[in-house]
Amino acid sequence: MKIISNIQDLRDQLRGQNRAAFVPTMGNLHEGHLSLMRLARQHGDPVIASIFVNRLQFGPNEDFDKYPRTFEADVEKLEKEGVYVLFAPTEKDLYPEPQEYRVDPPSNLGNILEGEFRPGFFKGVCTVVLKLLACVQPKVAVFGKKDYQQLMVIRQMCHQLALPVDVIPAETIRAEDGLALSSRNGYLSQDERAEAVQLIQTLKEVQEKILEGNLSPEAILAIEQAACEKLAERGWAPDYISVRKRKDLLSANNADIASAEKLVVLAAAKLGKTRLIDNLEI
C-alpha cells in the first residue's frame, strides 16, 4: 500500500484510474471501517482510503484534540484489506491556506438532528468530503449508514453538484450485544460499555411500537418522549430520539403515515462524557 500525503503526488499515482472506489475516514479504524473497504472492493478497483481528522467538522467544545489517532495500527489493517493507496494528508496538505470556500448544506437537512446539536458539523463534513473527492476523483465512494444523516447530506451534495461519483451506503456493523461500532466507543468505561447497548435496545422498542400501527404524529411524539425518558432515567442525557421519513429526514404527518412512508428512528445521547449516535430503519 502506498501512503501519500500530498495532493499532487496522489494525482500522479492515480492518473488513468477511472474505476477507483474511495472510503474516507478519520482513522482509528475498526471492523465497521474495514467492512466499508470490502464493500468498496465490490464496486470498484483499486480501493483508496483516506485518514484525515477534519478540524472543520468539530465544534469548539468537541473532541478534535483528543480524537483517537492510531495511524500505525490503521495502516496495518488497511494493508491487510488490500487497499492500494492511503491518502493521509496533514492539515497543511489539505488546507494549505484558510479554507474560505465551504459547502453549506440546506438547513432543512443540515440544521436538523445532528446539525441542530452540532452547529456547522455538516458544513465541515461537506467541505472536506468535496475536497477529498476532488483529490481522489473516484468512481464510487462508500459511507456507513451508522452516520445516517451524513450519508444523506453527502448523497444530496453529490447529486446537486452533479459530481461524477456514486455514493454507496454500507450497513452498520455491530458488536455481539448490538452496540454500533464507533471510534467513540473507546471512550466508554467498562460500566458505560455495558450500559451502551441500551441505545439500540431503545431504538428497537421504538421500532416495535411504531410497527404496532394505528399511529398519528402525536402518538409518534409520545413514543419518542417515552424513549428519551427511559434513557434519562438510566443516567443518559439524550439529545434526541426521533422518528423521521427516510427520504428527507422530516417528521411524518398524517398523509405520510396513511401512505406508509418508510421511516427511520435516529438517536443521539450522551453516556457520561461520550456522545453516541445510532439509528434503525423501520
Count residues contacting ligand PAF (CB under 6 A)? 10
Is 238 a binding residue for ligand PAF by CB under 6 A? The answer is no
Contact mark string toward ligand PAF, 108..147, x via CB under 6 A? -----------------x--xx-----------------x
CB-based burial label for 228 (10 Å; 0-12, 13-18, 19+): buried
Q: Does 266 bind ligand PAF (CB under 6 A)?
A: no
* CB nearer to ligand PAF: pick between 128 and 243: 128
Q: Which three cell numbers stand for residue 69?
A: 489517532
Residue selected from 20, 25, 209, 210 as contacting ligand PAF according to rule CB under 6 A:
25
- Based on the residue annotation, tell me whether 30 is a catalytic residue of this protein: no
State which residue, 48 or 125, has the beta carbon closest to ligand PAF.
125
24 touches ligand PAF by CB under 6 A: yes
The residue from 30, 33, 43, 159 that is catalytic is 33
148 vs 32: CA distance, rounded Å: 14
Beta bridge partners of 141: 22, 167
* E strand spans, 132-218: 140-144, 166-170
53 or 179: CB nearest ligand PAF: 53
Closer of 26 and 269 to ligand PAF (Cβ): 26
How far is the C-alpha of 102 from the C-alpha of 210, rounded, in Å? 39
Own/partner pairs, 100-107, CB within 8 angstroms, 24+ separation: 101/127, 102/56, 102/126, 102/127, 103/127, 103/130, 103/157, 103/161, 105/153, 105/156, 105/157, 106/156
Question: Per CB under 6 A, which of residues 60..119 are in contact with ligand PAF?
Answer: none
DSSP string, 245-257: ETTT-PPP-HHHH
Interacting residues with ligand PAF (CB under 6 A): 24-26, 54, 57, 125, 128-129, 147, 150
Catalytically annotated residues: 33
